[in-house]
Chains A and B, each alone.
Chain A
Amino acid sequence: MNSRTRNPFRSRIAVRIGTGFMVVLLLLSGLTWFVLSASSHYLRNSVGEDAAAVAATAMFGLDRGIVLKRSVLERICQDSQLLASVSESNSYFETLPDTEAYINETDLAWRSAPHDELTPFMYSILNNTLSEMLRARLVNSHILEYGHNLYAEVFVTNKYGATIAMAGKTSDYRQNDEVWWQVAASNGSHIGDVEYDESAGTYGLMICTRVTDANGTMIGVAKSVVDFVGLVREMEIGLLPSPYPSREIRVLTSDGGMLFSSRAYRLLEDVSDESYFVSMQGHSGYFVAEMGGRDVLFAYAQSTGYIDFTGFGWFALVGYNLADVLAPTLELRTVTLQATALLIVLGAAVAYVFTRSISRPIQEFTVAAREVSGGNLERRVEVRTQDEIGELASTFNEMTVSLRESKEDLEGKIQQRTKELDEANKGLKASNAELEQFAYVASHDMQEPLRMIRSYLEMLSRRYKGQLDSDADEFIGYAVDGVDRLQRMIDDLLALSRVGTKGEPFRRIDCNVVLNEIISNLKVAIETNDAIITSDRLPTVIGDELQLSQLFQNLLGNAMKFRSEAAPKIHVSAERRPGEWVFSVRDNGIGIDPQHFERVFVVFQRLHSRDKYPGTGIGLAICRKIAERHGGRIWVESQPGKGSTFYFSIPDRRVEVAKDERQGN
């Protein structure tokens, strides 16, 4: 992969660090949120339990207050004045001829009187000593002490159920036809649930007690109607300590009648359908219900009575705005959110600076490394810190210094070697030129004396043949033969030297034409050897036509010379390879041992005796020199007995030549 292409599936260090930071922050935020939620839950439960205890206290206070009011009435009923008055009344009633008739008659007159009027009889009762005492000890004393009238009604009957004393006007005279009277008379006391009391003209709690004499004999009944609202006020239910300003206290009957609320309310209003009433399960508990558009944490406790008073199953509820209860955690949440936001911003800034402190040096290293790789070994990075990055920067700078020194050293050595090679090359060129010149001159200049030697030898042979002894003729023959061989060697050497020195300029050559001319030139040898030469379509190349002809001729000639017993079959082909053409000449001759593949191209190297395969041993050396002059090479692949294939390559310069031709070069 190209190192400079961005992989979209990988992120940069800065992004990775930033992402890691965000993940950590999110985890921390999640943990904080969990802790806050758990705190809220705990706080709600804790406050709920405390509020339930407050509700239980309120309920207990009410039950106890009711019992205390009964005790107050019982104490009044033990007052000697009251006992005397009741006994006196009973005594009087005992003297009546028909007590029941008297009571009925009086009761009828009582009830017949206008509601807001007092008859003289009523007035007499209302202002008798016992009534004064009832008002003084119960009604007025309470008003003076507490500032409100707790007793909506107080009166006493004799044992016949006739009213004998009253703090205020009662609705009727006969009382023993009432259930409360009968219960109190028989059981000793009676406490009735809150209801509208006709006599009192208000909602009250009926508290009745039996009046007994010293012998424990029932002599009458006392009844008080306790104003429930006043009772709640006296018990200071609404003043129970509250941790929250939103605190609300309610007292409900068991069937959902509103008895009291610290807010404005309607007495005995039915709230049994309200969610907070429906939510109450069991005797005590707490829950959250919606009221007034906000969530309220309600705690409740049901009446359990006091002493022998079993209670009416009322519920006391204490409600706090849930928002007030959870205010600490809400405030904490707000602060935490703000802190988290601030932390995120600061963290992002810190992460940015931190990642910059890491990524920027890396980026600088990257840029510096690119410049160094581009050859600028003077590049240095600034060492800003003493940490690992600073150490890396120092190491990087040391590396570039080392690289520069190595480069300078290497360049010095290269220059030295190049100079040495240039000098050696110059020597070699000079030597090679001298050698070629020598070979050319030698071969050229030696021809004349050689021709002269040969002429004189032929003259000697013609003139003195048979005149000398047989040995002389034989020796002259050897000499002529030696001269012939020497002549051929000189010719070949001359040809070899001319490849480098007398070559023609390269031009476009159709190798098919060249091959056909060679085949035509070798017609005699072909026929003599019954050789078959075939070829593929050969390319047009840029080269020296004469030398290429010689190359083909040498290879074809060798193919026929080193033939096997079978008739030579020679195939010429060419293959296009990148930038060059590779020609091949394949035969079915005797083949070459691979160990001699290089040797066959060395001048004067022979693999066989001259007697078996005549020749000078220069042909393939000429071929190699021709191939090399054309910028190519030559090689052979062969196995003994399986023929040989000679390859030579010629660079494909047609494109370059065509370009040059277009440019008019």
Chain B
Amino acid sequence: MFRVAGKGTSRAASRRTMALAILVVLVAGSVLSVEYVQARAKDPIKIGVILSLTGSGASSTVDARDALVIAVEEINQRNELNGRKIVLIIRDCMSDPDKAVEVYGEIEEAHHPLMYISGMSSISVALAPLAENNRTPLIAVVSSSDSVTAGREWVFRYYPGSVQETVPVLAKIDALGISTVGFLYLDDEYGNSVLDAFQPEIQSRGLSLKTEHFQPGATDYSAQIQNLSDAEAIFAVGVVGNYQGILAQLRGADYSGLVFVASGASVPSVRSIPEADGVFVSAPNIYRPAYAFSKHLEEEFEERHNKPLTHQGASTYDVLQLVSGLLVDEVVSKENLRDLLLRGFVYSGTLGDIIAKPGTHNFAFPLYQAQVVNGVLVFR
């Protein structure tokens, strides 16, 4: 058949071709967008994070935030929470408990998160009543004070407690036969809690204990050191930001006794200073030279943040991994999360195995006595 093609039919053919092309593009676009739409279809799991990103406690908890970011990326990449992603609502409480309470209210009002993570004992203790009132799980990190969880139903702690901080020190004191001990501590929730754990043990051993405290943000410890200078050993307890000054001033005062520091001083930024050499420190496994279980996180953390991983960061990383692991194939709710935490679990974290017995609110990774030798921790 021979058909005359005029302009009209030509336009019609063009329109058909164009329509076909548009249809094909739409179909292809639809296929490609399915994944995107599905990914957006489920609500994220919000977790409120209240840390001291500025102020006196920042040296201890900034790493916690940096490690959380890595954890949440890994968890979301695994996509094991029924397609739901974790979203962190991170706020700075400026190392101020009152500010932390205020921030908690803001987060709660705006986001109603599944749970909270808080850093530092003083902050966690301040937030604990809010967690109870809101019936929302709160997991405290970088918080050794037993007051954080004492008598609480919705508050948990993922960090060595005050007693654990003292055990390696006491073991060493026992081993070395020290009779007089000076206790230099930060006069806050954390320092006082360690004192509360340490003092009875010293007394039970019939040893002499002299205590001196300093305030948050303090940089001059010379007077306290002077008062403790006659002790055979001084056990210093503070936040990371205190230790460099304390050690420097101890050496500056020509203190000749043994120096013990709490786990906060095991971080590279403290132990790497010359004045830290020979100091005994309660240290987590993460700083063992051949320790392999945190290697991937160390590498990722260092690459991402251009600084070495600390146990404050690793423990916070572990908290999020723990929570994520518990919630796999589980109902995501505040009540269920609390029940899962209370039910008891085993978790092989970067800092060691956590074997939580049913009902416990305190999940602690082990601390061991180590000594700083040329900036490196030697576990003895």
Spell out A's residues near B (CB within 8 Å).
Answer: 1, 3-4, 6-7, 10, 12, 14-15, 18, 22, 143-144, 147-148, 202, 229-230, 232-233, 236, 238-239, 245-246, 260-267, 291-294, 321, 323, 334, 337-338, 340-341, 344-345, 348-349, 351-352, 359-360, 362-363, 366-367, 370
Contact = CB atoms under 8 A, between A and B. Distances in A.
Interface in B321-380: 321-326, 328-329, 343-348, 352-353, 355, 366, 368, 379-380
Interface string B70-113: 00001001111111100000000000000000000000000000
A151 to B, nearest CB: 14
Given A291-B80, A321-B79, A362-B5, A233 B353 contact: yes
Given A238-B293, A264-B322, A291-B328, A337 B344 contact: no
Contacts of B352: 147-148, 233
B79 to A, nearest CB: 5
Contacts of B84: 293
Contacts of B31: 337
Interface in B270-310: 285, 288, 291-293, 295
B325 A265 contact: yes
B130 to A, nearest CB: 25
B292 A239 contact: yes
A340 B13 CA distance: 23
A321 B81 CA distance: 12
B80 A233 contact: no
Chain A CB within 10 A, most for which of B6, B321, B328: B328
A246 B78 CA distance: 5
Given A292-B81, A337-B32, A348 B21 contact: yes
A351 B10 CA distance: 15
Given A10-B1, A12-B5, A14-B13, A233 B348 contact: yes
Instruction: State the 10 A-B residue pairs at the shortest beta-carbon distance, nearest first.
Output: A293-B82, A263-B325, A341-B28, A264-B325, A147-B285, A292-B80, A348-B21, A363-B5, A264-B347, A292-B328
B217 to A, nearest CB: 34
A246 B77 contact: yes
A418 B324 CA distance: 107
Interface in B11-35: 13-14, 16-17, 20-21, 24-25, 28-29, 31-32
Contacts of B285: 147-148
A147 B77 contact: no
A144 B379 contact: yes
B285 to A, nearest CB: 4
Contact of A266 (B20, B292, B343, B348): B343
Given A239-B295, A344-B25, A352-B14, 18 more contacts: A6-B3, A7-B3, A12-B3, A14-B17, A15-B16, A229-B353, A236-B293, A238-B348, A239-B293, A246-B78, A261-B346, A263-B325, A264-B346, A293-B80, A294-B80, A348-B17, A359-B13, A360-B10
Given A265-B346, A366-B5, A345 B353 contact: no
B353 A18 contact: no
Contacts of B77: 245-246
B1 A147 contact: no
Contact of A147 (B32, B347, B366): B366
Contacts of B323: 264
A293 B83 contact: yes
A236 B32 CA distance: 41
B4 interface: yes
Contacts of B5: 12, 359, 362-363, 366
Chain A CB within 10 A, most for which of B6, B293, B321, B324: B293
Contacts of A238: 293, 348
A294 B79 contact: yes
Nearest to B27: A341
A293 B345 CA distance: 22
Interface in B31-71: 31-32
B1 A1 contact: yes
Contacts, number: 157
Main secondary structure of the interface of B (DSSP, over half): mixed
A536 to B, nearest CB: 50
Given A1-B1, A236-B292, A262-B348, A148 B366 contact: yes
B78 A321 contact: yes
A246 B75 CA distance: 8
A274 to B, nearest CB: 9
A340 B27 CA distance: 11
A349 B25 CA distance: 12
Contact of A229 (B78, B326, B355): B355
Given A232-B348, A266-B343, A345-B21, A7 B1 contact: yes
A223 to B, nearest CB: 21
Given A147-B285, A292-B329, A370 B348 contact: no
Contact of B24 (A143, A341, A362): A341
Chain B CB within 10 A, most for which of A10, A321, A341: A341
Given A340-B28, A344-B21, A359-B5, A147 B379 contact: yes
A341 B29 contact: yes
8 contacts: A10-B3, A147-B291, A147-B352, A229-B348, A239-B292, A352-B17, A366-B4, A366-B5
Contacts of A7: 1, 3
A266 B346 contact: yes
A261 B325 contact: yes
Contacts of B20: 18, 22, 348
Contacts of B322: 264
A480 to B, nearest CB: 80
A152 to B, nearest CB: 10
Contacts of A10: 1, 3
A12 B78 contact: no
Nearest to A268: B346
Contacts of B326: 263-264
B78 A349 contact: no
Contacts of A334: 32
B325 A321 contact: no
A420 B321 CA distance: 114
Given A12-B13, A292-B82, A293-B81, A4 B4 contact: yes
Contact of B346 (A22, A267, A360): A267
A81 B133 CA distance: 60
Contacts of A293: 79-84, 329
Given A264-B346, A266-B345, A233 B13 contact: no
B117 to A, nearest CB: 16
Contacts of A351: 17
A321 B347 CA distance: 20
A352 B5 CA distance: 16
A14 B20 CA distance: 13
Contacts of A370: 4
B282 to A, nearest CB: 13
Contacts of B24: 341, 344-345, 348
Nearest to B318: A264
Nearest to A342: B28
Contacts of A232: 348
B323 to A, nearest CB: 8
A22 B368 CA distance: 71
Nearest to B354: A264
Chain A CB within 10 A, most for which of B3, B24, B344: B3
B69 to A, nearest CB: 15
A264 B340 CA distance: 10
A367 B24 CA distance: 33
A461 B368 CA distance: 184
A264 B345 contact: yes
B288 A147 contact: yes
B293 A246 contact: no
Given A238-B293, A366-B5, A341 B25 contact: yes
A351 B18 CA distance: 11
A340 B28 CA distance: 8
A261 B9 CA distance: 69
Contacts of A3: 1-4
Contacts of B344: 266
